[in-house]
Amino acid sequence: MKNLGTVSRWAGALVLSAGLAALTAACGSTSSGSSATSSSSSSITVAVAYPAPPKALLAQFTKQTGIKVTWVNIGWDDLQTKIAAAAAANTYFADAADVDWSKVGEYQKTGWFYPLNTYFNVTSLKSDMPQLNTFISDNQLMGMPFDSSFLVTTVNTKDFAKAGITTMPTTLAGFTAALKKVGQVNGMASPLDIHFATAEGLSTCWYQMTAAFGGQVLTAQDTPAFTSPSSPGYQAMAWMVNAYKSGLVPKANINESDYQGFTTEMARNRVAAEMCDYSGSVASIYNVPSTSSVVNDTEYIPTPGATGVGHNVANPDGIGIPKTAKNVAGAVKFIEWFTNTENQATWAGLQGANNVVSTFPLPARLSSFTLMDKAGNIAQAGQLSTILQAHAQAPFPNGAPPWYVQFSASVQTNIHEAAAGQETVQQAVNAIAAQVSQLKSAG
Amino acid sequence: MSAARRGRVLPYLLLSPLVVFIGALSFVPTADTAVEAFFRVMPLDPPNRFIGLGNFRALFADPTITISWVNTAAYVVIGVTASVVLGTAIAVALKQRFRLRGVVLALVILPWALPAVVEAVIWSWIYNPTVGVMNSALHSTHVIGGYHVWLGLDRWLTILLIEIVQVWQITPLSALIILAALQAIPLDLYEAARVDGAGAVQAFRRISLPLIRPALAVCAVEALVLSLNIFDQVYILNGIAPLGSSVMLQTYVTTFENLNFGGGYALSLLVTLATAVLSLAALALIYRRPEAA
């Protein structure tokens, strides 16, 4: 019975520990909640899927405005869930939050975010922000773009040069053949990085590959444009699935997030090319010596397409004000500051590496580009500028539909299943098309 | 009020805060879920409206949900069987006296004390196809010829590996409960059996097993409830891919990814009913009072 007593004490101690842990967690929640509740005009919480600007610069904002900023950096997918859950429960979670290009129609319809037309002059902003229209739905500005971003093809020029390839192919057939050669020469079993995990990165990659094949996945009426085997959307999906099944893409990608792909596969030189990379990765990831072994070896190239250089899907990030915000005036001041010409250029490197926002792609304002061009400190400015002006296109002809979130969930799960061999490309296409029909009929 | 009457009322008074607490945080939301399950609740398509069994019909017609039910059944079978068998084996081993028994007991309990999310993250590195310990260990011992992608390609392997993580977490509690039951068995019974010529296996089958049945029932129900509601491990190790998806994961996807709150309520209600029915069935099947065993 002595042993039983020991076990009972153990069990008792564990139960007590668990109880205390639960109590601590509960107290933590309460504390957090009260902190949110007590948010006054002198503080705001900013929730975005981005690292914070340097502390010294945030301190400058506080000094100028008297507003203290609490920066919450959450992963993109998790942040979208948090926004939806908080809005549905009508609870506070932040004063300024991420407004993704894909959510604009949804937020306009649900009314989860304040239209920003009241606080900003949309007409004058349009001339300086080429991607502002992406954030307008039904004439309402739902978010302010805080970067210019589009999907690009990045290659490791050193690996390609070893294989004797110095002129980059402009067609997908040529690029595929080149990759096979690069893989053989450099001892890479799978030289191409495309993400196949069930996450937003897989959906956007399909839109990008569809753009490379010369099309878009939905029509202007938001009907499927990918059901015919000759359509760019169908061909793009078939090409992606075949690239995975044939071993051109690492098998591990079926479960790896896009961020893991950038920071480990490409930056560690385990692959030689990335087809759905973010504009900005070269400066913010691959050329950072502490985390990369391919410093100065990577380069953006014009996206290889079906018959020549293809398009690039634009996916800028935006910031808006949730209806449950407690300090709207503070949030407006912060958005003004965060997106002004000088700061946009600063986040991209105008004032040196110490003042950049990590992973920041390109400024949202043309005036910021001008500042950086004058200072001569933007990597591959010519290439990026050409892509931005000539090849960057919105993923959807009519903006992201209000039911984008369900559409994207269907896209990513079905392409993932096709790559994993659980269904054919035709079945995946049919399933996504059926989902679109259902979503459209549901209104 | 008389002393006798006060004595009768006092227990209810003492329990009333707990009843209010549980009622507010458990029964009210459950009742609300049960009602809303019959409504179309979609923030993108307000207002909410009564649709009868519409949500349930949609769920049964959705092949992804059907797959997740089958997957969940596999999680339950593996989880309940493995945690009860392993828990019993660990308890029998820990019943013996040996040096550093206390340390071993503490180590055994550790996985139970860790949050499921932390454990899933740890195991995601173990299963990592590029830098994972599993590939490294199996490759260096020549069990496998090359590195494998363990999760996301083969449905049943994915389910098995995910459930191993949960079994790793829930088995310690089962072991503790069974150990306590084993130690409550009077030693006289084993002594008498030994005198009658029974070996260790026979003593376990004829004495230990019947007398720890109530504890086994508790462990089985605990494992059943946890594996039927498995979410964290599936989400972290396999994302929202249907291949290894559980019903609870689909509840999350339906509610927060697809913003179909009515469908989410309906699926939650079905999971709650399934949990209650299966738990009662498991209790009826396994539980025996010691004198009846």
Spans of all domains in chain B: 55-286
Tens of each residue's pLDDT in chain A, 443 residues: 344 444 444 444 443 343 333 333 333 333 333 333 334 458 999 999 888 999 999 999 999 999 999 999 987 777 877 888 888 788 999 999 999 888 888 888 888 999 999 999 999 998 888 788 788 888 899 999 999 888 889 999 999 999 999 999 999 999 999 999 999 999 998 999 998 998 888 999 999 999 999 999 999 888 999 999 999 999 999 999 999 999 999 998 988 876 666 677 899 999 999 999 987 788 778 888 888 899 999 998 989 999 999 988 888 889 999 999 999 999 999 999 999 999 999 998 888 878 888 778 788 888 888 888 788 766 566 566 666 666 677 788 877 888 888 899 899 999 999 999 989 999 999 999 999 998 888 76
Measured from the Cβ of residue A204, the count of other Cβ atoms closer than 10 Å reads: 23
Burial profile A261-283: b = 16 or more Cβ within 10 angstroms, e = fewer = bbbbbbbebbbbbbbbbbbbbbb
Chain A segment 267-296 residues within 8 A of B by beta carbon are 270
Check pLDDT > 90 for residue B212. yes
Instruction: Looking at the structure, tell me whether residues A292 and A166 fall in a common domain.
Output: yes
Task: Determine the Cα–Cα distance for residues A112 and A115; give it in Å rounded to an integer.
Answer: 9
Does some domain include residue A291? Answer: yes
Question: What's the CA gap between A251 and A196, in Å, rounded?
Answer: 9
CATH number (domain holding residue A169)? 3.40.190.10
Same-domain check for residues A304 and A432: yes
Least confident of A173-182, B191-200, B245-254: B191-200
Q: How far apart are CA B25 and CA A215, in angstroms?
A: 51
> pTM for the whole thing?
0.75
Binary contact (A252, B241; C-beta < 8 A): no
Compute the mean pLDDT over every residue in chain B, rounded to the nearest whole number: 90
Let me know: does A52 contact A146? Beta carbons within 8 Å.
no
Among A359, A388, A417, the domain boundary falls at A388
Confirm whether A37 is domain-assigned: no
Residues A367 and A262 in one domain: no
Closest to A14 measured CA to CA, from B21, B175, B117: B175
Res B16: pLDDT: 92
Q: Of A7, A106, A252, which is closest to B179 when you measure between CB atoms?
A: A7
Contact check, Cβ <8 Å, B253/A409: yes
Residues A287 and A155 in one domain: yes
pLDDT, position A322: 96
In a domain, A4, yes or no: no
B-chain residues near A255 (CB < 8 A): 129, 149, 151-152, 237-239
- Mean pLDDT (whole number) for B151-156: 90
CB of B183 within 8 Å of any CB in chain A?
A: yes
- pLDDT at position B53, please? 95
Q: Check CB contact under 8 Å for A406 and B176.
A: no
Residues of A in contact with B153 (CB under 8 A): 251, 254, 420-421
Closest partner residue to A7 (CB to CB) among B43, B180, B237 is: B180
How is domain B55-286 classified at the CATH fold level?
A: MetI-like fold (1.10.3720)
Q: Tell me what pLDDT residue B276 has.
A: 93
CB contact under 8 A, A417 and B243: yes
DSSP secondary structure of A3-37:
HHHHHHHHHHHHHHHHHHHHHHHHHHHHHHHHHHH
The rounded distance, in Å, linking the Cα atoms of A3 and B170 is 22
Contacts of A413 in chain B (CB under 8 A): 64, 240-242
Report if residue A34 sits inside a domain.
no
Quick check: is A22 in a domain?
no
CB proximity B109 to A under 8 Å:
yes
Instruction: Note whether A173 contacts B: Cβ–Cβ < 8 A.
Output: no
| Helical axes A200-212 vs A76-88, angle rounded to 10° | 120
pLDDT for the residue numbered A23: 35
Taking the C-alpha atoms of residue A193 and residue A244, their distance in angstroms, rounded to an integer, is: 9
Could you read off the pLDDT of B102-136 as tens digits, one per residue? 898 888 888 988 888 999 999 998 998 888 899 99
Across the interface, whether the CB atoms of B95 and A3 are under 8 A apart is answered: yes
Reported ipTM: the value is 0.72
> Do A333 and A247 fall within a single domain?
no
A163 with A290, same domain?
Answer: yes
pLDDT (0 to 100) of residue A291? 81
Q: Do B257 and A409 touch (CB under 8 A)?
A: yes
Same domain, A223 and A282: yes
Q: Which of A7, A409, A420 sits opposite B183 (nearest CB)?
A: A7
B176 → closest Cβ in A11, A402, A416: A11
pLDDT tens, residue by residue, B16-55 = 999 998 888 888 888 999 999 999 988 767 788 999 999 9
Interface test with B, best of A254, A270, A408, A416 (most B CBs within 10 A): A254
Is A272 a domain residue?
yes
Same domain for A357 and A342? Answer: yes
Residues A157 and A267 in one domain: yes
Find chain A residues with C-beta within 8 A of B157's C-beta: none
For residue A189, what are the domain limits? 151-313+403-441
CB of B25 within 8 Å of any CB in chain A? no
